[in-house]
Chains A and B, each alone.
Chain A
C-alpha cells in the first residue's frame, strides 16, 4: 500500500525534472529548481551525474544550499574552477554538456524562450533580465529541459522575443541554423509535461495526477495536441519528498 503524501507545485516540478536526468549525464546547471532537481537525481537514480555551474565550477560539493550562481560554497571542495570563457568554450561550445536547464517568462508552441522583454524590444513594456547564458545553453547542450509554472501568459503561441532557440517555426528550421544541440526534450510544468512532436511542436506528453487535459489547454496559448500515448506521472514518492525537504532545502527557499 502506498502512503498518500501531499506536495506543492515546486516539489512536483523538481521531482519530475529529476526523473528526466540519466546517470552519467553532464549537466549545466543554475541555482534554484534545476539545482535541486540535479541533487535529487544524484541521491536517487543518477549517482554519477556531473554538475557544471555556469560560474565556472565543476564537481561542486556544496555544504549548504547555494543561493546564487556564484555562491562560494560551490567553490570550496570542488574538483575544478575555471573562467567564464573556459566554461562556455571548453565545456559547452565544445559539446561536453549533455543537459541544459532553461526557464523564462514565455515559452512558445515550438519551445522558443523569451527571457528578454515583454512588448517591443526598443520600448519594452516589461524589461526582463535577458539571456545570461541561456542563448548558448539552448543551442549547444545535447538536450534541454525547461521548467516553468503553467500559466497562459507564459505559454503564448509565439514569444515576444526569441532569447533562446527551441525549434523556431518547426520542421527543420532549427537544424538549418547549424546549432549543435538537439533542443528542448521536455517542458516540465506544475500541470504536466510537454514534449516536442517530430515537427518540433510542443504536445502534451503527460499529465500530473488529478490534472485534466482541459486544465492544461486553458493555460496554454495555442490549440494543444495530446500525444497518443499521453501518460499520468507517478506522484512524488515519500522518499523523494523526504530528500528534498530534509536534506536539500530544509529552509524551504525554493520548494
Chain B
C-alpha cells in the first residue's frame, strides 16, 4: 500500500499539538520544508529535539511553535549565534534540556534500539551532568568502573529527509548520515520526505544503501529541495549565503516576521519556495556530478 501523501496532509495527520518532534539531519538533509509547513499550520506547544537546532528550529521558535527545545549545540553552523533560540532562552520564554552531541545521540540510540538506557565512558563530572538530571552515574557491573548513562529519547514523530525512497518508505541515503537513521527508528511516527520517489526496483538494486526501512515509516512525501538552505548531497549545495543572511535577518523579531511573511506564510509549498529563489540561486547551488562505481551483488 502506498504511503504517498502531500507534505501538507502528512503534517496535518501525523504531527499534533504538544508532540515531541525530531526533525533530523546533521547540517545535511534538514527538512526545512516540513518546518515551514508546521509553521503554516500553526501547530503549537511542540517539544523540538535536534542535536543542532539550526535555522529550522530558530524559525519555528520565533513563531511560537515550541514550548521547549532539546539540543546539544545551539549555533548557526559556520556563522555564529542562533539568535532567536538564544534570545528565547535568555528571556526565560522557553524551556530547554541540554546535552553534549554524543549523549544526545546516545539517547536516540537507546530509543531506536529499545533499550532502557545507554552507557557512555566518563567525561569528567562536568556541570551539564549536574544541571540535567537525565545524566546518571552507575557502576559497570563487570568492572565496577563508573559509567555515565542517559535515558532513551523516543520522539512522538520524526521528519527525515532522504535522497530517494519508494512509496513504502524504503529509503536510500548517502552523504553525511548524522542521526537520520536513529531518529527514524526511535520515533513512534515517521514522515519521510524525499528528493525522488523511485520504483521499488531501484531500492532493491542497492539494498545496502537502504538506511531506513519502510517498516517504520508512516508517510512518504515527494518534496524536492526540501532541505534548502541546508543541502542534499548530490542534489544541491548548502546555501552558505543564506546562513550568513539569517544572522542579519534574525537580529530582530521584525526581521524574522518579515522573512516568514514572504517565504513561509506567503507561499503554499516548497515548489513555490524553490521557484521564488530563482534561477540565479539554482545555478549557484547546482551540485554537479561525481558518480560512484556500481557494485556487483551477484545474480543468485
Contact = CB atoms under 8 A, between A and B. Distances in A.
Contacts of B51: 84
A190 B243 CA distance: 28
Nearest to B74: A129
Contacts of B121: 93, 139-140, 178-180
A72 B123 CA distance: 30
A75 interface: yes
A70 interface: yes
A58 to B, nearest CB: 12
A81 B176 contact: yes
B106 interface: yes
Contacts of B182: 83, 85
B298 interface: no
Contacts of B99: 131
B101 A132 contact: yes
B189 interface: no
Nearest to B82: A129
Interface in A141-176: 161-165, 168, 174
Given A116-B128, A135-B100, A136-B101, A130 B73 contact: yes
A162 B102 contact: no
Nearest to A166: B124
A31 B75 CA distance: 14
A239 B68 CA distance: 51
Given A69-B77, A75-B175, A77-B290, A179 B122 contact: yes
Interface stretch (B4-12, B86-94, B198-206): B86-94
Contact of A126 (B74, B90, B109, B181): B90
A131 B176 contact: no
A179 B123 contact: yes
B131 interface: yes
A200 interface: no
Interface in B131-177: 131, 145-146, 174-177
Interface stretch (B232-240, B246-254, B275-283): B232-240
A209 interface: no
Chain A's interface size range is 35 or more
Contact of A116 (B52, B90, B127): B127
Contacts of A56: 26, 176-178
A165 B126 contact: yes
A75 B176 contact: yes
Given A72-B231, A127-B86, A180-B121, A85 B109 contact: yes
Contacts of B124: 138-139, 162, 164-165, 168, 174, 177, 179
Contact of B176 (A55, A127, A164): A55
B193 interface: no
A29 interface: no
Contacts of B243: 68
Interface string B24-65: 001110000000000000000000000110000000000000
A77 B174 CA distance: 13
Nearest to A55: B176
Contacts, number: 172
Interface residues of B, number: 58
B218 interface: no
B243 to A, nearest CB: 7
A136 B100 contact: yes
Contacts of B210: none
A129 B180 CA distance: 22
Interface string B103-137: 10110110000000000111111111001000000
Contacts of A75: 175-176, 233
A82 interface: yes
Given A56-B177, A70-B28, A133 B89 contact: no
A199 interface: no
A211 interface: no
B181 A83 contact: yes
Nearest to A160: B127
Q: Which 7 residue pairs of A and B lie closest in terms of their CB atoms, listed nearest first?
A: A70-B27, A165-B124, A68-B78, A129-B75, A135-B100, A132-B73, A131-B100
14 contacts: A70-B178, A81-B176, A84-B177, A85-B105, A93-B121, A132-B72, A140-B121, A161-B127, A162-B126, A163-B127, A164-B123, A165-B124, A179-B121, A179-B122
Interface of A: 31, 54-57, 67-72, 74-77, 81-85, 88, 92-93, 116, 121-127, 129-136, 138-140, 161-165, 168, 174, 177-180
Given A68-B77, A127-B89, 19 more contacts: A55-B27, A68-B27, A69-B77, A71-B238, A75-B176, A81-B176, A81-B177, A85-B106, A85-B108, A85-B182, A116-B98, A124-B89, A131-B101, A135-B123, A139-B122, A163-B126, A168-B124, A174-B124, A178-B146
Interface of B: 26-28, 51-52, 71-75, 77-78, 81-82, 86, 89-90, 92, 98-103, 105-106, 108-109, 120-128, 131, 145-146, 174-182, 230-231, 233, 237-238, 240, 243, 287, 290
